[in-house]
Amino acid sequence: MQPKHTASSARERRGTGEGSLLRVLVMDPNALGQSSPSSFQWLSFAYQALTEIPYEAILPQTDTLEVLDLSNNLLDDVYWNPALLGQLEKLSTLILDCNNYTSHIKFPFMASVTTVCINKNNINNLPVFVDEIRRKFPNIKILSIMNNEAAPSYFNGGSLTQYTDYR
């Protein structure tokens, strides 16, 4: 069954578990004023040129949302108001790749999150950033910060020594 939405695309896929159903919603910012289904596990706002987090579409998903993708937008620390993300008690994965976040980003406490991807941002102070992650995501298993100044590699001008120290 494929739900229809006027200005957004949605799709349902079978998960890998026994009879599980993964529901994915990819939102168009023009659709935010329209009603949308309220039981998605995966919500993507990628590539929407967002400058603010669209809480009006995210918060109705608090009972089911497990993956939130806000990648490839214009989000930064100035308009980052993450406190409401703390209400997403089932969220396990937060994807913030390709935005303008810095080492001083402040997250809410999110015990359910096990994966944070914040690749290709403006993170340049690894100790400050990792301390925030450690305090706010106590159950984190995967932290991906590739292509940030704080994560040196050959691809962003880092030396072998810097890369080895980072690892």
Which pLDDT does position 135 carry in this prediction?
A: 98
Q: Residue 152: its pLDDT value, please?
A: 66
Q: For residue 17, what pLDDT is reported?
A: 44
- In this structure, the dihedral spanned by the alpha carbons of residues 134, 152, 105 and 118, taken in order and rounded to 10 degrees, is -80
Distances (CA, A) of 6 to 29, 70, 107, 133: 12, 21, 33, 38
DSSP for 115-156? EEE--SSB---HHHHHHHHHHH-TT--EEE-TTSTTS--GGG
Q: What local confidence, expressed as pLDDT, does residue 131 receive?
A: 97
Q: What percent of the chain has pLDDT over 90?
A: 60
- DSSP run (H or E) holding 166: helix 160-166
The DSSP bridge partners found for residue 82 are: none
Q: What is the spatial distance between Cα 4 and Cα 55, in angstroms, rounded to a whole number? A: 22
Task: Give mean pLDDT, residues 77-100.
Answer: 92
The per-residue pLDDT for 14 is 34
Q: Is residue 42 scored above 60 in pLDDT?
A: yes
Segments in 14-125 forming alpha helices (H): 55-58
Instruction: Identify the residue with better confidence: 159 or 92.
Output: 92
**According to the model, what pLDDT value does residue 20 have?**
44
Task: Please give the pLDDT value at position 39.
Answer: 75
Q: Under CATH, what is the fold of the domain 9-166? A: 3.80.10
Strands 9-14 and 21-26: antiparallel
Of residues 22 and 72, more confidence is placed in: 72
The confidence score (pLDDT) of residue 7 equals 34
Answer yes or no: pTM beyond 0.85. no
